[in-house]
Structures are given as C-alpha cells and as structure tokens.
Amino acid sequence: MLSLEFSQSKHFVDNLSENVKRGLRIKVRRGEMPGIAPIGYINNKNTKRIVLDRRVAPKITEAFKLYAQGDKTMSEISQYLYDNGVKTDGRYNKRKGAIKRGGNKIKDDRIKKILKNPFYYGYFMYNDELHKGEHTTIISKSLCDKCQRVMERRGRAHRK
C-alpha cells in the first residue's frame, strides 16, 4: 500500500516538474524572460511581466553612456548611480528569516554584469541561449557594444 502511495506521489511531482518547465518554455517563446527583473526594470505582479522602472531606467541608460565614453571606471559608475538614488535593494533571507538591508552602493562586479546584460538592448539569456525579448529596451545594441569594447580594452591592460 505504501509503495502505491509513493508511486502516485512521484508521478505527481514528475508531472508538476514537466508542467513548470513547459510553462517556462512557452514564456520564453513569447519573448518574456522568466525570473527576477534586472535593475532598471520591475516585475509586475498583476501581469506577471517585466516592465520598465521609470525612476531607475534613465539612470541605468546614463550609466551605459558614461561608461561608453571610456573615461569612467566601474567604481565611478557605481558612485554615479548611488549619488542618483540607485542603490542595492533589500532581499529576504529564508534561512535567517530576515530582510538583508539594502541601500548600499552597487559593487563593481555587479556594475560589470549590468553593462554586459543583453536584456537592456532587447535580448535575454535562458538555458545558456540568447532569446529576443518583447520588453522595452533602454539602450541600443551599439551602445552596449561600445561598453564591451571599453571593457575589453581595459581588461587587456591589466593582464601580464
């Protein structure tokens, strides 16, 4: 009897897993990135879509422009964002049952991830594949490419 219950339980879990995966694949095919919105965007709980954060998005766009000029460091971009009210947000820690305090400067490694993120020019990564998104973009592909060239140029200077 226990074996039959275990078998039914396993079948339910397997079906649930397949249904979730199917739902995520459908969402990706529609051009919607599953998961948490990058900084400059917010997850709309009503529509279940990622939408522009009208307060933060212009500052992220300006950060890309500043970095693309080639004379600003990641730290200077971080400071620019901090000075303009773009800070880390609080996160809930499940193990400790508390909210980690936000309101800090964004660290340089996160700035680098922002500057490399294709989401800002209309694409997103899912399962290690690049997909075209249906969300509002805040930069052009050419601006992102300029940032990548600046990063590449700076990266070579520090190698031995």
38-47, Cβ contacts within 8 angstroms, sequence gap of 24 or more = 38/114, 38/117, 38/119, 38/120, 39/86, 39/106, 39/114, 40/120, 40/138, 41/119, 41/135
Domain enclosing residue 117, as ranges:
56-160
In-domain check, residue 45: no
Range scoring the smallest mean pLDDT among 11-15, 73-77, 81-85: 11-15
**How much is the pLDDT for 1?**
62
In-domain check, residue 3: no
In-domain check, residue 37: no
User: pTM for the whole thing?
Assistant: 0.81
Does the pLDDT of residue 86 top 60, yes or no? yes
pLDDT digits (tens, 9 = 90+) for 19-57: 888 988 999 999 999 999 999 999 999 999 999 999 999
On whether the CB atoms of residues 67 and 148 are closer than 8 A, the answer is no
On whether the CB atoms of residues 82 and 106 are closer than 8 A, the answer is yes
Q: Residue 63 is part of a domain; what is its CATH number?
A: 3.90.1750.20
In-domain check, residue 60: yes
**How much is the pLDDT for 98?**
60
In-domain check, residue 95: yes
Tally of structural domains, the chain: 1
Average pLDDT, the chain: 88
Range scoring the smallest mean pLDDT among 65-69, 97-101, 136-140: 97-101
